[in-house]
Amino acid sequence: MSNATSRNSGIMRFVKTSWIGSFVMSFIKYPVNFLYAGLGLFVFILSFENSFSDTPTQKGYLVGTLEFGHEGEHVIQCDVVSASVRSEAGQKVLSISATNEQTKETIYVKIFQLRGAGTYFIPGDGESGNIGNIIHNLNDFQNKNNFYEAKMPDSSGVQNGVGRLNITYLSDTEIEGNLVLIGNNPKGQKAVLESSKFKVSIVVP
């Protein structure tokens, strides 16, 4: 037997008996494995990149810290977020709604007299008054104590909560910024949203 033949026989034995050889042969016999390998590599790279991302990867989001009364502070990450700009009584009105699908904790803001990027206070000093609501559980909407509101002062002059919406970017299709909101429910219990940031596409009615 020639040296070349011996070398070829040795290579074939290595291919058949070693795990590396079996791995290579599986691709040769079943080309569809290339597709699975490529898909697996793609998912791995995508997961690796997302693990170093500072913001959620979904198209719209709101992330911050939230506290109800004495329950303790926790992180809220809303994955159902929407925004719209409408014309009401001759003025632009911005509405933003963000809900966590698991807990149903919800943030709702309505800003009257939208002028563009900048800072808006809640309730503000306008005649209509900007609106800010923190809802403990959206599913339990019949329970008034689930709603923590920041709104204009009542008849006795007592202001019920405050907030600040800072819009850092605004276009016809997208809005981005941060929000601080403090609200009270009818029992006088307080809810606080802090260190929140959001980014969402604007729905044109």
pLDDT in tens, 28-50: 565 544 433 443 333 333 333 33
CA-based end-to-end distance of the chain: 83
Mean pLDDT score, 36-65: 50
Q: pLDDT, tens digit, for every residue of 164-175?
A: 999 999 999 999
pLDDT of residue 129: 83
Q: Which residues of 160-189 are buried (b: 16+ CB within 10 A; e: fewer)?
A: bbbbbbebeebeeeebebbbbbbbbbeeee
Chain centre distance of CA 169 = 17
**Per-residue pLDDT reduced to its tens digit, 67-84:** 998 788 999 999 899 999
For residue 108, count other CB atoms closer than 10 A to its CB. Answer: 18
Q: Lowest mean pLDDT of 11-20, 74-83, 104-113, 135-144, name the range.
A: 11-20
Tokens linked to 28: 């040769």
Average pLDDT for residues 116-127, to the nearest whole number?
84
Contacts of 98-101 with CB under 8 Å at 24 or more apart are 98/62, 98/198, 98/200, 99/138, 100/76
Query: For residue 85, what pLDDT is reported?
Result: 94
Q: Is 46 helix (H, G, I), strand (E, B) or coil?
A: helix
Residues with Cβ within 8 Å of 161's Cβ and at least 6 positions away in sequence, in order, are 122, 123, 132, 148, 149, 150, 151, 181, 182, 183, 184, 190
If pLDDT is split at 50, 70 and 90, which confidence band does 161 have? confident
H or E element at residue 61: strand 61-68
pLDDT at 12 over 60: no
Give the model confidence (pLDDT) of 126-154 as tens digits: 666 899 999 999 898 888 888 999 876 66
CA distance 170 to 165: 13
Report residue 6 as tokens. 């011996």
Q: Where are the domains of the chain?
A: 3-50, 61-203
